[in-house]
Each structure stands twice: as structure tokens, then as C-alpha cells.
A and B are shown apart, each in its own frame.
Chain A
Amino acid sequence: MFENIKERFLKFITSRQVALCGALILMACVLVMQLFSLQIVHGEENFNKFKFKVETKRSIPATRGNIYDRNGNILAWDTSASCVTITDVFNENKNSKLNEVLNKTIDIIEKKGDEVDLNNFDISLDESGKFVFAKENHLPFLRDVYHKKRIEELYDPVTKDDKREYTATQVIDDLCKDYKIGTYLSKDEKGKPTNFVPRMNYSNKRVLQLVAIRYNLSSNLYQKYISTTISSNVKDVTVAAILENQDVLEGVQIEDKKIRKYGEDDSKYFSHLLGYTGSISQNELDRLQDEEPDVYDKNDTIGLSGVEKLMEKELRGKKGSETIYVDNMGRVIERSDPIEPEVGNNVYLTIDKDLTIACYDIIEHDLAKILTEKIKNVKFYKHSEKQNNSSDIVIPIYDVYFALFDNNSIDIKHLSDQNAKTNEKAVYNAFLTKKKAVLDQIRYELVEKKTSYDELSPEYKWYMSTIANMLVKKDGIVKGKPIIGIDEDVKADKIYKKWENRDDPEKAEKVSLSEFIQYAILNGWTNTSGLKNIESQYADSEEIYNGIVDAIIEKLDNAEESFDFQKRMYKYMLLDENISGDQVCNILLEQSEEFKNKIPEEELDLWLRGGESPYEFLMKRIKNLDITPAELALDPCTASMVVTDVTTGDVLALVSYPGYDNNKMANGVNIEYYAKLSSDKTEPLYNHATQQLTAPGSTFKMVSATAGLSEGIINTSTSVHCGGVFSKLSDHPPYCWKRGGHGSLNVTGGIRNSCNVFFYDIGYRLASQSGYYASKEGLERLKKYADLYGLTDTSGIGIEEKQPQFSDVDAVRSAIGQGSHNYSTVGLARYVTTVANSGTCYDLNLIKCTKKSNDDLIKDYKAQVRNTVDLPKEYWDAIHTGMRGVVLDKPFYSNLGVNVAGKTGTAEESKSRPNHSLFVCYAPYENPKIAVATRIAHGYTSSYAAQFTKDALAYYFGLADLEDEILSDSANALQDGATFGD
């Protein structure tokens, strides 16, 4: 029995099925051990690893506070908008897939009429479509692009490769290689694509869009699942189109985000004042993180300029946070632990919205009036210094025609477009003929004719000078070193000097550009490494010369590289009647429906049936502001005005003309708009009220008067004789503006008549306190009083403002506002405010108060008193009376309805351009409430600034209706100020 069992057992145990069972059990044991290791031993670790993969903490941006004017009118606010964003979800073939998805997405966005935004990327396009750096100091950006810790590391001492010197195009090409934006030309034997050409088969605009988005995506890498915005604020149709194509647009999402709004039509009035918000830059982030750790991160939006920047801490609110879980595509599948963000505080400005708008409109309207007076139906105007005063400069209509090309009111690139219309095509054909003729002629001049510079026509003088500048500039003709290197030795050379002095009427000698170049070759100043056609290092000088000429012609023939050069040809085509004024006007109509629609029907009919000349047509357009002074960019085209409350030091209006649309700068920069702004000759991004410095001209004279009175050099009755010239300075004696002289004047009369000699004398005596004339001492004394009026310092408003500059030459001329004085309009406004309130110098104030989002007051802001100017009342009276006299002498102020005291000023910057026009004033004279400072850059005569100001005062004091009277066509023509002196 037992044997039987034993036998059966042995048979069982040795059966082959049992062996298989054994093998399986062994395998199962291995697996259980592996499970034990994965789930029990390393279970928590695996769990956390998984959590790390899918869980991320994300901040929720706070709604930014609103900005209101002093009366509670809203100026800036947050609103929600649909944004197209992308998250990097690719592991394999990342470059090609990502580029493909981005291309498709951008195609959809643009097809639906929306725009791709440029965030946090310091390269942009210029008007010709070339890559340029968007900021002056782009080195921190390059440091980030090339992943360096410090800017110095951009230079590699071993290879001598200096990335700091790279052009924007080089940087773009490097990024394109990284991101594989471009085309492979061939395949290697293994079938792998090789021979990559960056940017090939992409337009520059598309390259920029792709590179910028890819750059931002890659800088988001260390933070998982943070999306990068492709386009903020897209239309509903775009949202629908993106969602429809979601299956092919991996990682692309529609997100609801808050965007900043500045009003549809109002934005231009307040753009400089409010500034705009945008992505934080690495530099700014570093700085702010030092200041307040843990407040900002790389994806934040902050105020970049203006009040947005000034009041950032109040406006920003407090970010919230949440934990999100995402899937492998980066899509959020769950949220938890939300901490709601806190809305930012509201900021109330001291600015009066309506007054600001009125001032801006007055400036634009009055600038147009000046232009219509100065534009004459002549071909050209030859300025002669001997005979003409700069206020006599007229604007030939041909300059207006060219200005339309020059400031890109006419889109030159569109002329060669396949959709170009009749006149566009005709003009483009004329241009092609002209271009060929010019390039042939240049070659002929350089190779054979070699005409001396002084015998060339003005047109060819311009061409030759421009070519010469390109030759000595880095990247001028070919990439890299200049063709002709200029160093100290070269500068000392006779021929170089001859060429440099070619335009100087006193020193000019006979010299031609070809002579200069050939001389440069012989002396070894040339660097020919970048030239194509020069094969050997030992090429003879003629080969080198021909190589340089070829390179010049090739460069000038390139529409993108030589955009400005080719644009200039239109000027001569106009003058040579290759294209006509009629064609120019018709192209305007062909290119812009918007422009066409502005024109009243009967006037359009009149033009279309040939009833008026292009001169008449354009004059009407300028008068009606269908073409604004800013669009023309002919002098004068910019102006600024600052209005203050003299009793409180509050700023009521701060206007810089022209403005821009800050909606297009916030929430990501619109590439085309930015290119247009940065190439605009009127520099719209620049705050002309705070960042443009000019000499104050005679508006400075109250400072000199104060200095003279306080230093005891004069008293209110001291009189000085003016004979038209100040003879105490024997070397180049300065003149009074009135050559015939004013006779004897006291300080009140000196101010009233703006007598230069009176103030020269004060300047002279301030400098002669030690018994002899010492300009420096005089300047120091004068500076003390300028400082009392706040002129040595920025005004205190807190937004971007240039440091003013007190004159450091010539005490005598400095006393009348010449010398090297340089002040901003807002600085002059503080000064005249101090004069008006008899000596309280404020740090001007822009902020009225801050309130919580529920309207609880947080803080009232008041202008701080910077210092006081302590003068006896009779001194103030003398100054005030003089200023009142200035206005009394202006007939256009006679029926205003409010008594004004002010001072005009004219400042000359260039003999060939009109003078700057300035006016500072306060009103009412008896009991000052407001002060105004106005400046028209290149505005001919101070009388214009005074009349701009008069219109603003009339509006402020409710003396005239803005639309019906001040801005109406029937309003009186501006009066040229030449007869009123200065």
C-alpha cells in the first residue's frame, strides 16, 4: 500500500507536466518579486514620481486694477479674451512636429484675420522686413539666447567669436538652426536630410513668429505645462476654427485670459501717460526678485512703462494658485486646492480725461493749420542762411509727395505686389527704370567718369555720400568688418580729410568717391575678406576696386537691404516728373479704403473727374486731417503740452503728439504695428513731453530775472540799455532779436519784450562778481536759481523722463536760454507752476488716490513741496507783470475772456530746419489756477505755441466750444509770429 503511494508519488513528481509547472512557478516567483520591489519597496517613490509627472502648481494671475482719470472716467482695465496657446507635448521629432503644428495654427489665426503676438522677444522687423533688435541694449537678451550666465561670456577669447557683435539676422539664423526652421537641401547616403538652410521657404515674418514662440516655449521648459501664448484676444471665428482642427493641432489650446484694454478710440491720447503692460523680461525679473522674492515669476505680466509701471505694486493685485493634473498631452484634466487671486487696486490719476483729449486734438488740428500755411505749390525751396530767417522756410508740395513715401503712408512694398493696382504698377515700373538708370550711372561714375563730388547733382551727391557711409560701416556693404576701416591714422590722412570736408563750403576741395576708395586700397585701409569676386589675397588694386564696386551695386540692388536708399529714388523720380502728383494721390486712394472713406463724396468726385490739382487735393486732406501731420512727418509734426494745477502741483494733462495704440503693444506686441511705429519718423513711442529735451529759449528768462534780483545785481527799477547788440563781449558779440534795440528797459520790460541784451547783461554780471568775467562762476550762480525752479531735476511725475541738462557753456548766452540748456516740456511746466504760485516748487504729481476694488479709499496722494523760492512780493510782481505784458502784446489773446500771463521761447536746433516753438503761461493772471507749457518741435515760431495754448485755455475755462469753435474749419488762421518778436 505504502509502496503503491510512494510509486505513484514518484511517478507524479517525475512527470513532465510537473516539470513545466515548476518552470511556471519559478517564473511567477520572479514576477512576484518584481511586483514586490516595484509596489512595496519602491511603491512610494514610484507614486511620487508619478505625482511629479502629472501634478503641478500653477499660479492664477490676478485681475489688474483699473486706472481712472480724476473724475472717475475709466482709462485702463482688464477684460477677458480668448487666447490661443501652445504647450510643448512632443517627445519625438519635436522640431518638425512643433513647427508643423505652429505653422498650421498661425495659418488659421491669420486666415481668420487675427494677429500673432510677439512676447518677450527682443528682435523685430523693420519697415523693409529686415530683422532688427527691438531694444537699444539687446545684450541681456543675447545672453539668454545663447544660454550664458554673464554678458561677457558672449565673447569667446579662444575662437575670437564675439556674439555681442552679432546682427539680429545672425541671431535669428542661429535660433532657426536650433529649432530647425528652414529647409534641408539634400539627403545623405543613409537617407538622413542634410545641408540645412535656415529660414529657407519661410517669410521673414513667419520666421520671427515661429522663433519667438519657440524661444518662449523653450524658456518655459523648466516649468511644466505652462502654456505659451500664440495670440491673445482672438475672434470667435478663430476660436471655432482652432477647435475644429484640434486633432491635428497637438498641444494647442484656447484659454480664457485677462488682457489689458485702453479704450478703442482713446488709446492714442493716453498711450505715453499710461504706458502698457507686457511680459516680464529676464533683467526686470532678476531685479524684482532681488527686491521682493517670490512675488514674480517668468510668466508674469507687469507694467512696462508709464503709470502701469509707476503704480505696478498697487495695480498688480495678488496672484492665486491651484494644483493641476495634466495628461500626457499637457491637457489639464483636474484641478484642486484653488487659492483665489486678489484683484489689484484701482488707481485714480490727477489727469483730466476730457482736457487731455481736447489738448491732443487741438495740437493735431493746429499742426495741420501750420502745415497748410507753410506748404506751397512749388517744386523746391532753397534755403539760404544769409537771406532767410528759419521761420520763412516753406514746404514745397513735392516734399509732401515724397513724405508720403518716406514715412510709409504709401506702402512701397505693395507696389510690386501681384495685387497692385493701375497707378501702383505704373509707379513701380517707373521705379524699375529709375533704379536701373541710377545703378548704371553710379557704376559709370565710379569706374569711368569719376566726377568730382562738388560737380555732382544734389541727387548723386546724396547717393555718393550714402555709399561712402556704407563703406565705412560695419555690415555696411557685406557682412562683418567695414570695407574701409577708419582709425586714428586714417583720420589724420589728407585725402580722408578732403573727402570728409566735401560738404563744408569753406574747406571743400575737388575729390571724388572713386578717388577716395582707390586711395584707401593703395594705403591698405580696405578689408576685402567679405567680397565675393576677389579670389586671391594678392589681388591687385584694380581687381579689389572692381570687386568693391560690384559689391556696392549688388547691395544697392537688394530691395530689402537697401530699402532706404531705394526709397530715396522716389524723391528724384518726383522731381524729374517720372511720377506725378496725380499718381501719388491715386495710389493713396488705391491702397487704403479707410482713407478713401474719410473723404466727402463730392470732394472725391471732384478729384476723380480731374477737377482739382494734386496740390489742392492734398491741402484739403491735410486740413481735414484725412492725412494727419504725424503721417506726413514734415516739420512740424510733433508737439507736447503739459497742464498743471498751480495750487496743488497736480498734473491735469500730459500730452505727447503723436500717440500710438497701446492696445497693440500690451498683451504681446503686434509685429507689423511695432515695425511701423519704430520706423515712423515722428517717433510715436517716444514721450515728447518728458523724453524730448530742447533748449528752453526765452522761456528761461524768468530764471535769469530771479537770479539778477536775488543776487542784488538788479532791482525792479534797474534799467539796462539795449542797442541791439551786447557789446561787453568783444569776441562775437551776441545780438538782441530786435536788431534796432529796445532802448532802456527794467526787468518787467525786459521780460515783456523778451529783450536779449537785458538778460545778457544779467548773465554777464552774474559771471563778473569777482571783478572779472568768469563764465563758470556765472553759470553756477544761475544754476542755483534754475535749481530752485526745479529745472535741474526730473519733475517728480515718476514716469519715464529724461534728466534735464543745465547749460555748461557761456554764462551770457545761457542767461537767455541758449548755451547747452536742455529741458523737457514737463520740466518747464513745473518751472512755470512755481512762477505762477509765487515760489512753491512741487514735485509734480500724477496720482490722485488709490482705492480698493470695492471703492474703499486706500491713500490720497499729494504733490510734495520740493522747495520754495523766497522772493519779496515786489519781485514776483515785477516778473508776473512782465509775463502779463507778453500776452497783452499778442493780439490773438485779446478777446479770450481770461487774463493770461506767459512767456514765449524759440530755440534753434538746425539752420535748415524750423526753430522749436515754446510757450509757458498761467491763468487767470489775477488768481492763478493752472499753468501750461507747450512745445512744438520745429514749430517755426513761438507764436504758434502761444496760439495752441490759447485754444487749450479757451477749452479749459469753457470760453469756446471745442468742436464748433476751436476745432472748426472757420476758426481763424494761425498768425505767424515773426512780427511779434520773441
Chain B
Amino acid sequence: MLKNMLNNMLNNVLKKYRFYNFDFLLVAMVVGLTIFGTIAIGMTERSEEQIISPAIKKQIAGIVFCFCVMLIVSLIDYTFILNFYIVFYIANLVLLALIFTPLGKDVNGARRWIMLPVINRFQPSESAKIILILFFAQFIMKYKDKVKNMGFILVCLLLLGIPAILIKKQPDLSTCITIVIILGCMLFVAGIDWRLVAGVLVVGIIGVTLVIYAAGQGNSMFLAEYQQTRIMAWLHPEEYTSSAALQTTNSKMAIGSGQLTGKEQSEIVSILNSGFVSESETDFIFAVVGEEFGFIGGCGVIAFILLIAIRCFRISMIARDKAGELFATGVGAWVGFQGLLNIGVATGVLPNTGLPLPFVSSGLTSLLCLYVGVGIVLNIRLQSNKYI
């Protein structure tokens, strides 16, 4: 009896997939980029005594674990997972709220981690991204008829607003921006009114310009002082010798010094080993890539990020249902926008803000969430009824 039930459930969850529909190319790109990232992280940890540092060993073990999780997830029917979307939403709020309990941990003035048994450090703002994508994919599908309705959009924004405020309080403005962009893309693909899109874009561009202008004038009511300084430092790096601007200046110098093919090992010491760029294994990992692998390596990473995002969008186009379509869009937007924003910061195109580079930066919470996301996207592909 019990056996029967379990069998039934498994049958429900694991459908008969046609495995030529499994997207090996996406898996290859994701794994390739992750391995490339590990090598880059290894370079920041390089020391004379140890070629492979303990941190790298931990990273590799983490990758293997994430990879297995991705494979398992890719075989589970995503509609089954999406059923629990309300549970996920509440769990997300609980996790974010835990940060403000004694479980939370302060690092450099920001409270972004909770300390859990076994997995140790966990970053709820990373898991929030995948959970919100999950939630909204199912939520929007449920009310897909009302997508053109302004009231529905306001409800969506409200549902986003609650976790967003919790994240903002950490403070983690950059994650907030990312989830807003992701939801925007999902709503856009869901088919909101073009006029609304145009309106948001116009208002958004004017708004951003105004904020930056106000910050440039030195009196911003929208931004905290440190955010204002970062914007100022971005606008006038030569005048800001504070560490915020130095970080970007040095990162640009590091990337630039890589020239076409990156620095030879025998050449002069690297900027990263000289400690001129901090957070080089997380938010500024692209500086390592640029310095060690040059223009070729840098373009490679941009191409990979772009291709993974496009791949997700294409899977979105052939998804079996609306939820699959929206979910794949969300993951594509996540990888694509967060990745390019991060590179924009490292190359000084954008003001300094702390975002990891998907698949490349160290940080296992982020990696795990991305792999789970890609796993679900793979399942969406498996279940698609169309050919590409």
C-alpha cells in the first residue's frame, strides 16, 4: 500500500523524459564557467607553499555537491515543485527575518548571513532570488488573465515589496535592484502592456539620471552617505582616494594591465596578490579574470554569461506552460543582468555595488541557488513539447 503510494508519487515526479531533450550544452556552459571561476578564485588564494588552498578544496567539494543537486532537480517535475509556491514564499520571509535574530552574523557592518548547523554560513538574500522567481512564476500563471490589469501588477509589487524591504534593511541594495529587475523581466514576458513598459522605462531612466545628478551635486535625499560617495567616486575617480574609489580604480588598472592575453606567470607580481583589490574572490572576481586571462578571457566570460542567459530565454520560449516560461525567463534575467552588472562595476562602467558574478564568484549559497535554478530550467526543457 505504502509502496504503491510512493511508487505513484515517484511516477508523478519523475516522468518518462526523452533524454535527447536534455540540454547538455547549457550544463556544459554552466559547469565550464564554474570551473573557470574556481581557477580564478584559486589565483587569488595562491601562495608559495600551497597551490591548492583549503578554501579551494571547500569550493570544489561545494561544486560537486551543487552539480548533483542540479541533476536531481532537473529530473523532478517542476510543476510539482511549483505547487508549494506559497510555502516557499513564507519560508523565504522566515529566512530573511532570521538575519535579525541572534543567528544573524555581522560582516563589515552588514548583516547578510545566518549561521546554521552543518552548512555553516547561509546567505538568505541569495536564496530569496530563486524563491521569488519560483513564487512569481506560479503566481503570475495562476492569474495570467489579469496580467494587463494594473491592480494585479500592484499586488505583485506588494508581494515583492515585503522581502525586498527585509533585504534592504540588511542593507543589501544591490540584491534589491536585482530582484526588481528579475520581476520586471518576468512581468514583461508575461505580457504586460507595452505602454506600461515604455512608461516604466522612461520614468526609470529619468529617475536614475536624477538620483545620480543629485548625488553628484552632493545633496541626495534618496541615498545613504556611503551610496552617495560611491556614485561620486564613480563619477570622479581621480578625486576620491578613499577605499571605495580606489577599489574601482585599482580594479580597472588590474583588468587593463592584463592586456590581450593576461599576465604571464613569470611577469611582475599581480595586483591581486599585492592586495590592491579587496573582495577579489567575490564581487571583484572579474578583476582577476581580466588580469590573469586578458581581453580574451574577459570576453569569454561575458560571452558565457550572455549565452547562458540567452539559452534560458530560448527554453522559456518553448516551455510547456506559462509557469515554465516565466521561470526560465527569471533565471535568464538573473544570470544575465546580475552578471553583466557585476562586470560593469568591475570595469568602472557602473558605480560600485556589491553583486557576485554568477557561477564565477566564490560563495556557495549563491552557487547552490543558481544550480537549483538551472536544474529547474533543464526540467522545463525536458518537458517542452516543441523543438528549438
Question: Are A and B associated in one complex?
Answer: yes
What is the interface of chain A, defined by CB distance below 8 A to chain B? 12, 15-21, 24-25, 27-28, 30-32, 34-36, 38-40, 42-47, 49-51, 53-55, 91-92, 325-329, 333-334
A325-B274 contact, Cβ under 8 Å, with A25-B306, A39-B295: yes
A17-B314 contact, Cβ under 8 Å, with A49-B253, A50-B254: yes
Nearest residue, chain A, Cβ from B312 = A17
Give complex CA distance A28, B336 in Å. 9
Contacting pair A45 B242 (CB below 8 A):
no
Q: Which of A19, A31, A44, A53 contacts B347 (CB under 8 A)? A: A31
Residue among A42, A325, A326, A328 having the largest count of chain B Cβ atoms under 10 Å: A328
Contact code string B198-218 (vs A, CB < 8 Å = 1, else 0): 000000000000000000000
A251 smallest CB distance to B (angstroms): 13
A39-B274 contact, Cβ under 8 Å, with A24-B336, A28-B306, A51-B268: no
Which of chain B's residues 241-299 have a Cβ closer than 8 Å to chain A? 241-243, 246, 252-260, 268-269, 271, 273-276, 290, 294-295, 298-299
Contact code string B298-329 (vs A, CB < 8 Å = 1, else 0): 11001101100110011011000000000001
A326-B274 contact, Cβ under 8 Å, with A31-B302, A38-B252: yes
B152 beta carbon closer than 8 Å to chain A = no
A24-B290 contact, Cβ under 8 Å, with A16-B188, A35-B295, A325-B274: no
Nearest residue, chain A, Cβ from B317 = A17
B62 beta carbon closer than 8 Å to chain A = no
Contacting pair B274 A44 (CB below 8 A):
no
Nearest residue, chain A, Cβ from B256 = A46
Residue among B242, B258, B274, B317 having the largest count of chain A Cβ atoms under 10 Å: B274
8 contacts between A and B (CB under 8 A): A20-B188, A20-B333, A38-B290, A47-B256, A47-B259, A50-B254, A53-B274, A54-B274
Q: Which of A15, A40, A329, A333 contacts B295 (CB under 8 A)? A: A40
Contacting pair B349 A34 (CB below 8 A):
yes
Contacting pair B268 A17 (CB below 8 A):
no
B152 smallest CB distance to A (angstroms): 17
B332 beta carbon closer than 8 Å to chain A = yes
Contact code string B336-347 (vs A, CB < 8 Å = 1, else 0): 110010011001
A8 smallest CB distance to B (angstroms): 11
Nearest residue, chain B, Cβ from A336 = B268
Chain B interface residue number, banded? 35 or more
B71 beta carbon closer than 8 Å to chain A = no
Closest 6 CB pairs of A and B: A46-B256, A43-B259, A17-B313, A328-B275, A38-B256, A47-B257
Q: Using Cβ atoms and an 8 Å threshold, which residues of chain B touch A329?
A: 275
Give complex CA distance A523, B306 in Å. 94
Residue among B255, B256, B275 having the largest count of chain A Cβ atoms under 10 Å: B256
A408 smallest CB distance to B (angstroms): 49
B161 beta carbon closer than 8 Å to chain A = no
Give complex CA distance A823, B276 in Å. 64
Q: Using Cβ atoms and an 8 Å threshold, which residues of chain A touch B343?
A: 31
Give complex CA distance A44, B185 in Å. 40
A35-B255 contact, Cβ under 8 Å, with A20-B313, A20-B329: yes
Nearest residue, chain A, Cβ from B191 = A16
Residue among B189, B246, B302, B347 having the largest count of chain A Cβ atoms under 10 Å: B347
A327-B256 contact, Cβ under 8 Å, with A17-B314, A28-B306: no
Give complex CA distance A786, B144 in Å. 121
A138 smallest CB distance to B (angstroms): 34
Contacting pair A32 B299 (CB below 8 A):
yes
Contacting pair A50 B340 (CB below 8 A):
no
B241 smallest CB distance to A (angstroms): 6
Contacting pair B316 A17 (CB below 8 A):
yes
Q: Using Cβ atoms and an 8 Å threshold, which residues of chain A touch B274?
A: 53-54, 325-328, 333
Q: Using Cβ atoms and an 8 Å threshold, which residues of chain B touch A327?
A: 273-276
B237 beta carbon closer than 8 Å to chain A = no
B363 beta carbon closer than 8 Å to chain A = no
Contacting pair B298 A17 (CB below 8 A):
no
B354 beta carbon closer than 8 Å to chain A = no
Contacting pair A31 B349 (CB below 8 A):
yes
Contact code string B142-161 (vs A, CB < 8 Å = 1, else 0): 00000000000000000000
A39-B259 contact, Cβ under 8 Å, with A17-B189, A24-B306, A53-B276: yes
Q: Using Cβ atoms and an 8 Å threshold, which residues of chain B touch A27?
A: 337, 340, 344
Contacting pair A325 B290 (CB below 8 A):
no
Q: Which of B258, B276, B303, B314 contacts A328 (CB under 8 A)? A: B276
Contacting pair A43 B257 (CB below 8 A):
yes
Contacting pair A20 B340 (CB below 8 A):
no
Q: Which of B243, B253, B329, B347 contacts A50 (CB under 8 A)? A: B253
Q: Using Cβ atoms and an 8 Å threshold, which residues of chain A touch B299?
A: 32, 35
A21-B259 contact, Cβ under 8 Å, with A39-B294, A325-B269, A333-B269: no
B5 smallest CB distance to A (angstroms): 39
Q: Using Cβ atoms and an 8 Å threshold, which residues of chain B touch A328?
A: 274-276
Contacting pair B295 A20 (CB below 8 A):
no
Nearest residue, chain B, Cβ from A40 = B295
Q: Which of A19, A21, A53 contacts B310 (CB under 8 A)? A: A21
Contacting pair A46 B188 (CB below 8 A):
no
B324 smallest CB distance to A (angstroms): 12
Contacting pair B256 A42 (CB below 8 A):
yes
Contacting pair B306 A17 (CB below 8 A):
no
Contacting pair B295 A36 (CB below 8 A):
yes
Give complex CA distance A19, B253 in Å. 34
Q: Using Cβ atoms and an 8 Å threshold, which residues of chain A touch B268?
A: 51, 54-55, 325, 334
Contacting pair B306 A43 (CB below 8 A):
no
Contacting pair A34 B317 (CB below 8 A):
no
Give complex CA distance A325, B266 in Å. 13
Give complex CA distance A640, B120 in Å. 79
Contacting pair B256 A92 (CB below 8 A):
no
A334-B340 contact, Cβ under 8 Å, with A50-B257, A92-B243: no
Give complex CA distance A917, B344 in Å. 88
Nearest residue, chain A, Cβ from B344 = A31
Give complex CA distance A838, B191 in Å. 122
Nearest residue, chain B, Cβ from A50 = B257
Give complex CA distance A976, B345 in Å. 93
Give complex CA distance A44, B294 in Å. 12
Give complex CA distance A54, B257 in Å. 13
